[in-house]
Structure 1
Amino acid sequence: MTIVPVILSGGSGTRLWPMSRPEMPKQLLALTAEETMLQLTASRTHGEAFAAPIVVANARHADHIDEQLAAIGAAPQAVILEPVARNTAPAIALAALAAGTEDALLVMPSDHVIANVAAFHAAIDAAMPLVADGWLVTFGIAPDAPETGYGWIKIGEPLVDGVHRVARFVEKPIRARAEEMLAAGDHAWNGGIFLFRADIFLGELAAHAPAMLTATQDAMRLARREGTRIHPDADAFAASPSDSIDYAVMERAERVAVVPVDMGWNDVGSWDALHAISDLDSDGNAHRGEVLAIDTRGCLIRSDGIRIAAVGISDLIVVASGNDVLILPRGRSQEIKQLIEAMKSGGKGSDQ
């Protein structure tokens, strides 16, 4: 069975402002290596076991996607350009309709880190017999902290070696519940990576979200095509309900399995997360760009242009991009969304 990588690249990545912006979100940036996040994602599924990828993206990023994938020799079979954002379930439906009926779709966000690609491939191999039999498979990330920002998966009975039935999905938990699940050892993080046959996924949509299936079918039937680029019909796609694959399908379907895997996964959801996975100097700093740091410890300092000079600081995040400079204590990078909202409303006060 052919495995078609489906790369979801529609996110805006505002949590990594000021480098990540709607016009150039984090998946198009080189944050963790010389390659961009999109290039790293495509490279993980580049080889004989995989077909050329299908990318689902924002129309404004089409040129960047083509350029970046061409640079690593991973030309896509299709780039589906969403006219509006409708969350992950409709995006995957577009890809399933573009793929072969019984192709296996490996659905991946474009902006995650997987350090152990061999473990990822082994998990895919373990899942394939069940996928061929019509199961929907998700990959459960081995948890190492009581994380409240992720959904969790309770691992149920074993089905085949290395693959289990999903006992239940758990919404983003409160801290105490996350600590209980971590201690129990029978839960995994929901990393948003899936593997299933295209026809099985579309069948589940027909059963559980028929309006979404109809809207995406209409959008693809009326789509405009330019080479590998597919422009779904805007009016038809806008009529689709907006929902995640978890809510629309995975939590409702009967035959859902999970492959627990420890593969060095990180969603790089904040500057703090990037610091945690970066190569650090002897003083615990992660820096990139034109940076001079003296007597500085435990900082993340990055610039894509101007020089940053730091003396005698510790545990700060300092990021300069274009005309913007971000400075905040490490541990508080999730509060960037408050900065974004304040800037949208024109707030400039010192208490913002």
Structure 2
Amino acid sequence: MISDPMNIVPVILSGGSGTRLWPVSRPERPKQLLPLTADETMLQLTAVRTQGFASASVGRPILVSNAAHADIIDEQLKQSGIDEYSVILEPIGRNTAPAIALAALEAQPADALLVMPSDHVIDDLPAFHDAIARALPLVAKGWLVTFGITPNGPETGYGYIQMGETCGDGVHEVARFVEKPDVANAQRMLAEGNHAWNAGIFLFRADAYLTAMEKHQPDMLANVQTAMAGAKRDGAHIFPGAMAFHACPSDSVDYAIMERETQVACVPVSMGWSDVGSWDSLHAVSTRCTDENAVRGDALLLGARNCLVHSDGPRVTLVDVDDLIVVVSQGEIMILKRGESQKVRKVTEAIKAIAAATSTN
């Protein structure tokens, strides 16, 4: 599609703590490092997602991660047969805009950075690869491209992208980014038909991203540059300078860059995507057995329907109940109604409050 094939560098963002999937996901081993939807972990599935891409060369991936997870990441990438990679280990989380800037400075200026969260599901890889190929001509011209998920319902848990004029093969200029809507606005956008969910997956040249950051977030860029200039290196591990990175402003790539730029495009795609952001969404993407139940671990279900059971040891037995989520992990047991899994945040907050109260006594 373009005369000079670009080099795509996968940039995998793996700094999240995954608290919405407590008690399985914990800060020391968050959801991206767990096998939640397959035998492989979410990180492993992401790392091999660009294999077989034919429209451009694909270089060694760059991961940006919490320093505490370095050994686990090494182990999992090697299990997946990935021997050449770099891991930039953040001394502190500063959200996605600085994280991507770290990777952009590590890459070559003309590299096309394929930015992917490490904890998403994409079932239809050919559709994803086709969307990447459609984006490349604009990326080569310096555009910042995002991938919008074709919505299948009025979801209120995602931001939306309003698409404008066509600017390529199945590619649209971004008219605006929309905050997470209420139900009425989500239904309206779905009816209008020119909106997509914001999946947080991007493709742009490293130099185009850094130019945009210099224009819109010069302080952020200066701190990231100082941190990378003073980085220590140990094999595949890169340790940015802690003092400079601590001083870096914290912001998402959407707010800091994408919403401020003019040459921003969206490729709408339907590719079996999920952010696995809750136990309910895990149930939705899991293989179902009898009566729409999804089971991982040892379970006995008698007359149970539409339930999710996840156990790391003890057998869970459900008798004549519907729409339950039951999680047994690391000595903790959690039971809640299906459709209410966003309330897990209340659980983690309550546990923190109990721990704080105990420590002061």
TM-score of the superposed pair, with normalisation by structure 1? 0.97
Structure 2 Cα separation of the partners of residues 47 and 99 of structure 1 = 21
Offset of 1:285 from its aligned partner? 0.5
2:101 pairs with one of 93, 96, 99: 93
Offset of 1:47 from its aligned partner? 4.4
Does residue 36 of structure 1 match 2:41?
yes
One-letter identity of the residue aligned with 1:150: Y
Offset of 1:277 from its aligned partner? 1.3
Residue in 1 that maps onto 2:27: 22
Structure 2 Cα separation of the partners of residues 68 and 168 of structure 1 = 38
Q: Any idea what the Cα deviations from partners look like across 1:185-239, whole Å, max 9, x if unmatched?
A: 1000000000000000000000000000000000000011000100001110011
Give the secondary structure class of the aligned counterpart of 1:296: coil
Please tell me whether the aligned partners of residues 46 and 74 of structure 1 are also in contact (alpha carbons under 8 angstroms). Answer: no
Residue in 2 that maps onto 1:343: 351
Does residue 248 of structure 1 match 2:253?
no
2:187 pairs with one of 161, 179, 182: 179
Structure 2 Cα separation of the partners of residues 236 and 130 of structure 1 = 33
Alignment of 1:301-312 (within 5 A): 301-312=309-320
Q: Cα gap change, 1:10/1:76 in structure 2, threshold over 3 Å: closer, same or farther?
A: farther
Does residue 143 of structure 1 match 2:151?
yes
Q: Any idea what the Cα deviations from partners look like across 1:76-135, whole Å, max 9, x if unmatched?
A: 421000000000000000000000111000000000000100000000000001000100
Does residue 105 of structure 1 match 2:110?
no
Please tell me whether the aligned partners of residues 169 and 251 of structure 1 are also in contact (alpha carbons under 8 angstroms). Answer: yes
Structure 2 Cα separation of the partners of residues 270 and 17 of structure 1 = 9
Give the secondary structure class of the aligned counterpart of 2:103: helix
Alignment of 1:212-231 (within 5 A): 212-231=220-239
Does residue 64 of structure 1 match 2:72?
yes
Q: Which runs of 5+ in 1 are unaligned?
A: 348-352
RMSD of equivalent CA atoms? 1.0
One-letter identity of the residue aligned with 2:47: A
Q: Cα gap change, 1:84/1:76 in structure 2, threshold over 3 Å: closer, same or farther?
A: farther
Give the secondary structure class of the aligned counterpart of 2:197: strand
Residue in 1 that maps onto 2:130: 122
Residue in 1 that maps onto 2:142: 134
Give the secondary structure class of the aligned counterpart of 1:144: coil
Structure 2 Cα separation of the partners of residues 106 and 26 of structure 1 = 21
Does residue 269 of structure 1 match 2:277?
yes
Structure 1 Cα separation of the partners of residues 63 and 84 of structure 2 = 7
Please tell me whether the aligned partners of residues 295 and 311 of structure 1 are also in contact (alpha carbons under 8 angstroms). Answer: yes
Count of residues in Structure 1 that have an aligned counterpart in Structure 2? 347
Q: Cα gap change, 1:117/1:167 in structure 2, threshold over 3 Å: closer, same or farther?
A: same
Offset of 1:307 from its aligned partner? 2.0
Residue in 2 that maps onto 1:350: none
One-letter identity of the residue aligned with 1:19: V
TM-score of the superposed pair, with normalisation by structure 2? 0.95
Q: Any idea what the Cα deviations from partners look like across 1:248-307, whole Å, max 9, x if unmatched?
A: 100001100000101111000000011111111121110011112222111100111222
1:313 pairs with one of 288, 303, 321: 321
Residue in 1 that maps onto 2:341: 333
Please tell me whether the aligned partners of residues 78 and 230 of structure 1 are also in contact (alpha carbons under 8 angstroms). Answer: yes
